[in-house]
Amino acid sequence: MNSQALKLRRIAIDTYHENVAYMHRECEVYRAEGFQALSKIRISTNGSKILAVLNVVDDDAIVTPAELGLSEQAFQQLNVCEDCAVSVDHAEYAASMDAVRRKINGERLMLNDFEAITKDIAESRYSKMEMAAFLVATGQNSLDRDEVYYLTRSMLETGQRLSWGELQVVDKHCIGGIPGNRTSMLVVPIVAAHGMLIPKTSSRAITSPAGTADTMEIFAEVNLSPEKLHDIVRKHRGCLAWGGTARLAPVDDMLISVERPLGIDSQGQMVASILSKKLAAGSTHLLIDIPVGPTAKVRHMRAALALRKLFEYVGDQLGIHLEVIITDGRQPVGRGIGPTLEARDVMQVLENDPNAPADLRQKSLALAGRIIEFDPDVRGGQGYAIARDILDSGRALAKMNAIIEGQGAHSADFRPGQYCYEVKADKTGMVTSIDNLKMAKIARIAGAPMDKKAGVDLLCKTGDTVSEGDVLYHVYAEFMSDFEFAKKLIEQENGYVIGKESEIKRYDAFI
Amino acid sequence: MNSQALKLRRIAIDTYHENVAYMHRECEVYRAEGFQALSKIRISTNGSKILAVLNVVDDDAIVTPAELGLSEQAFQQLNVCEDCAVSVDHAEYAASMDAVRRKINGERLMLNDFEAITKDIAESRYSKMEMAAFLVATGQNSLDRDEVYYLTRSMLETGQRLSWGELQVVDKHCIGGIPGNRTSMLVVPIVAAHGMLIPKTSSRAITSPAGTADTMEIFAEVNLSPEKLHDIVRKHRGCLAWGGTARLAPVDDMLISVERPLGIDSQGQMVASILSKKLAAGSTHLLIDIPVGPTAKVRHMRAALALRKLFEYVGDQLGIHLEVIITDGRQPVGRGIGPTLEARDVMQVLENDPNAPADLRQKSLALAGRIIEFDPDVRGGQGYAIARDILDSGRALAKMNAIIEGQGAHSADFRPGQYCYEVKADKTGMVTSIDNLKMAKIARIAGAPMDKKAGVDLLCKTGDTVSEGDVLYHVYAEFMSDFEFAKKLIEQENGYVIGKESEIKRYDAFI
């Protein structure tokens, strides 16, 4: 209960979303309070206070016994200057951990529980361990649809919320998992050319070989200040920017930073994550794309339908106009996998190149058509034709070029990596399946998305007939070590199955 | 996939059971590999490799861009000298996390799953987050009794196991939660005086006002090397040492370091923790004490019975002779709460002082009697009488003194803290209950166990009649700030209820 003053010191260590405090082992407060490493402590000064996990230091160069060190995050959060006097004591547990423990015990939580939890997380009262406990306790099927709604609403309440001052702000989101699926880069210019407001922010790839932000970066700057993003959207009705700077729904970012290394996710958390982000960004109308296929995230039509209902229920509760489209996720979309190759595919579609990948064009038109039908002036069923006209007439290309200019154009170069490996058919027959997961892994091993020119270029897709020795796809890499590693991986399994037409899995066979 | 060499640097930061690596933000490997803070990385050199969580540093004084820093734990584990060249790449997830994810999904795990998990934990492949995920996934009632057995067996297999070379090695363990319950310090000398081998190691207090190790420390050294502990046990047939140096069942220690800050526990994990530790310590015969009461850890007789069965089942599977005794946990045992005051109680019982607390004496005799009946030469039902004879004759005191001398005697001083506060009855009547949790909290706030002389001394127990103004208990503190804080707490609630005899909860009323 003693709380002698220590001198605050900023330690230039980035501990991401976790506050860490550094105290010398000879520090009197440490000895008197009986702290131990990994204890949670409370640091207070002038009415400002934060919680942090304690690391014990034996090196005066890092902190002296008279000092308390704080990692960058913790220092910024405490928001006082260095050399301030701070006092330290045992932190009480975050009060909302009681609710987490109730959830662990199988109880159903209420809105106020989720509000308390997200508030504590937003204010950094949860350690990574506690966030992991929350995620596991609310993972899998342990949240009912009302709990998912409460969680979404609570996450939304903890951050700021953009307002665009228009009746319709549209957006689209794909739950992911399909390589080459760069439809946003076609949907945005088509929909914006129709005149609808579509301020699209995207993520960079985390586990995939390319995110929309990585691919857009081939053409233009994507790291935009909120002010610049606003200007571009006002002027061009759309943008394709990286969402990382916006700090919308911060609790979602913090939970994802724990969820991802754990490799856990659940439908409830996914729905809450997507909807809280989209609502925070000011969307009023949202189209969700759920690809289904044996190597997609959602593997059965029944699971896709259940997920669709959950999206619809939570969306309705939160007052967003939401539609879900279930798409064919049996193989990659387009030909290229990796930022440069995917950018090339996008530009071919926009330029109405006869060689443009037809599946990417068709899927993008279908999605854009559905969004255009959110427009009250469009007659039901006419969206697709409008989208096609916009694309065919070159208006989509013109809009894309305007957005690229607005964001700051890069000199796009579609040449892939210097090393190229041809993967050939080992027998004659029909391509009956292409594994999404394996193709993504090959592209990543080859260097994507860090090396933008690395990736995979598919020359054959499911349903194509091939002869033994025909090239199925090219693998490109910029670095020899990556190239060798990718080749080794392909030797084990190349992701393609060649057989008979009857062996192709039918899309509706997943039902 | 690049893995350029960095120079190893030892960073004098104690991160407890978690490996942390420090990399400069300008480090080429960091930039090339696309790591981010909190990524898990693998550090390799000369065939030795470890996993660590990455913290990113912006201060050359901590690490330079050409170096890789490791926290104390990680440095020791890698076990090479400073300035060695190390290479760094992305860590694959611990393979056994797949089993944890299956458990999260509600599957039942098998022995090989638990073995893989405990092996990965023992080898520091799990982050704190991952351990939290495992604990929550296996918490509450999600482990069936066979899974508890698998977990116990796996934890036992990861550490070393002591062997005493005797047919009977006895031990006792209380699941905790009752202040003043220092029976081990009486059971050990009685049982050892009977000639049985009882090498007792105990914990220090973590959430309670005193552990057996803290209390024994009033009399003697408790921090013993394994060799010294062995010598004492050989010579005196028993000891009362701190268990922290033994490194038995290390996975248990690592899980506890996560479990405790999360404030979660479950019966399955408790049983696995206790039994793996006792078996690793070489025990062949074990008595488990489960106190039951409205403010005890186990609050209902039915829960105590279920826990008893679980202990028995797992114990039988592992081949330990195990008995469970369910005891009255409705109020603190003895009078003193806090190391010095509890040591005084113990010595009064050993010295057959007429003022010795009768409940501590009776409970200790009952436990010692049950252990003595493990002796094949003792007739069933005779254990209590033998224990009583050993205590009454002074042989227990002589044995305790021998153990104290063996461990290294301290000059015991039973004077409590300098500040004393009298808590008085606010009405006339009978003491109908004393709250274990509140009394423990008051003693802790007063300074126990860090200040050995701090604590609470109970003058009245449940069933005593008191007049308004009679002193119920004394609170002792060494520091004024603690003293004031304890007084403030007591003003809110003093832990005693005074009423009518009929209001005393009956022990069997919990059934």
* Residues contacting residue B380 through CB under 8 Å, at least 6 positions apart: B373
| Sign of the alpha-carbon dihedral angle for B177, B181, B186, B191 | negative
User: Do residues A302 and A294 lie in contact, with contact meaning Cβ atoms separated by under 8 Å?
Assistant: no
Tell me, what's the ipTM?
0.73
What burial letters (b/e) apply to B46-73, b meaning 16+ CB within 10 Å? eeeebbbbbbbbebeebbbbbbbbbbbb
Q: Write down the pLDDT at residue B381.
A: 92
Determine the average pLDDT of the residues in B193-222: 92
Poorest-pLDDT segment among A325-329, A370-374, B488-492:
B488-492
Verify cis geometry, omega within 30 degrees of 0, for the bond prior to A449. yes
Judge whether A265 counts as a catalytic residue: yes
User: Do residues A257 and A14 lie in contact, with contact meaning Cβ atoms separated by under 8 Å?
Assistant: no
Question: Which one of B89, B265, B328, B389 is the catalytic residue?
Answer: B265
Nearest to B445 among A1, A97, A450 (CB): A1
> Model-level pTM?
0.80
Poorest-pLDDT segment among A243-252, B116-125, B437-446:
A243-252
B129 touches chain A (CB under 8 A): yes
Question: What average pLDDT is seen over chain B?
Answer: 91
In 3D space, the residue among A427, A484, A486, A499 whose CA is nearest the CA of residue A457 turns out to be A486
Q: Write down the pLDDT at residue B245.
A: 66
Q: Write down the pLDDT at residue B1.
A: 38
Poorest-pLDDT segment among A416-430, B311-325, B474-488:
B474-488
In 3D space, the residue among B116, B63, B122 whose CA is nearest the CA of residue B88 turns out to be B63
Instruction: Looking at the complex, report in whole angstroms how far the Cα of residue B4 sits from the nearest Cα belonging to chain A.
Output: 12
Chain A residue whose CA is closest to B56: A14
How far is residue B405's CA from residue B137's CA, in Å, rounded to a whole number? Answer: 47
Helix (H) or strand (E) holding B290, with range, is strand B285-292
User: Do residues B353 and B316 lie in contact, with contact meaning Cβ atoms separated by under 8 Å?
Assistant: no
A49 φ, ψ (degrees, to nearest 5) = -150, 150
pLDDT at A89 over 90: no
- Coil, helix or strand at residue A105: coil
Q: How confident is the model at residue B86 (pLDDT cuts 50, 70, 90)?
A: very high
Give me the amino acid identity at A454: A
DSSP-assigned letters across all residues of B226-264? HHHHHHHHHHHSEEEEEGGGS-BSHHHHHHHHHHHHHT-
Determine the average pLDDT of the residues in B193-201: 96
B39 touches chain A (CB under 8 A): yes
How far is residue A437's CA from residue A446's CA, in Å, rounded to a whole number? Answer: 14
Determine the average pLDDT of the residues in B454-470: 97
Nearest to B140 among A39, A106, A258 (CB): A106
Q: How confident is the model at residue A2 (pLDDT cuts 50, 70, 90)?
A: very low
Tell me the C-alpha to C-alpha distance, in Å, between residue A176 and each of A172, A180, A260, A436, A455: 12, 10, 14, 11, 18
Q: Catalogue the long-range contacts made by B92-100 (C-beta closer than 8 Å, 24 or more residues apart).
A: B92/B42, B93/A261, B93/A263, B93/B40, B94/B51, B94/B120, B94/B125, B94/B126, B94/B130, B95/B120, B96/B120, B96/B125, B97/A262, B97/A263, B97/B126, B97/B130, B97/B133, B100/B130, B100/B133, B100/B134, B100/B137
For B370-421, write each residue's pLDDT tens digit: 999 999 999 999 999 999 999 999 999 999 999 999 999 999 899 999 999 9
Determine the average pLDDT of the residues in A232-241: 96
User: Do residues B464 and B220 lie in contact, with contact meaning Cβ atoms separated by under 8 Å?
Assistant: no
pLDDT at B365 over 50: yes
How far is residue A218's CA from residue A342's CA, in Å, rounded to a whole number? Answer: 10
In order of their start, the domains of chain B are: 5-90 (2.40.40.20), 93-162+247-280 (1.20.970.50), 170-241+295-407 (3.40.1030.10), 419-503 (3.90.1170.30)
For A140-192, write each residue's pLDDT tens digit: 778 999 999 999 999 999 888 889 999 999 999 999 899 999 999 999 999 99
Instruction: Looking at the complex, report in whole angstroms how far the Cα of residue B376 sits from the nearest Cα belonging to chain A.
Output: 43
Residues of chain A neighbouring B104 (CB-CB closer than 8 A): 136, 139-140, 264
Q: How confident is the model at residue B454 (pLDDT cuts 50, 70, 90)?
A: very high
Instruction: Looking at the complex, report in whole angstroms how far the Cα of residue A245 sits from the nearest Cα belonging to chain B.
Output: 16
User: Do residues A416 and A455 lie in contact, with contact meaning Cβ atoms separated by under 8 Å?
Assistant: yes
pLDDT at A21 over 60: yes
Crossing angle for the helix pair A128-137 and B250-262, nearest 10 degrees? 80
Instruction: Using the structure block, give the residue that is written with the tokens 């690596």.
Output: B21
Residues of chain A neighbouring B61 (CB-CB closer than 8 A): 61
Q: Write down the pLDDT at residue B2.
A: 43
A150 vs A77, residue with greater confidence: A150
Rg (CA), chain B: 25
Helix (H) or strand (E) holding A98, with range, is helix A97-104
B319 touches chain A (CB under 8 A): no
Instruction: Looking at the complex, report in whole angstroms how far the Cα of residue B129 sits from the nearest Cα belonging to chain A.
Output: 5
A318 touches chain B (CB under 8 A): no
Q: Write down the pLDDT at residue B37.
A: 63
pLDDT at A73 over 90: no
Nearest to A56 among B14, B59, B131 (CB): B14
Token pair, residue B407, equals: 């461990």
Token pair, residue B406, equals: 């063996």
Q: How confident is the model at residue A32 (pLDDT cuts 50, 70, 90)?
A: low
pLDDT at A70 over 60: yes
Q: Write down the pLDDT at residue A1.
A: 38
How far is residue A325's CA from residue A287's CA, in Å, rounded to a whole number? Answer: 7
What burial letters (b/e) apply to B171-188, b meaning 16+ CB within 10 Å? bbbbbbbbbbbbbbbbbb
Q: Do B12 and A38 touch (CB under 8 A)?
A: no
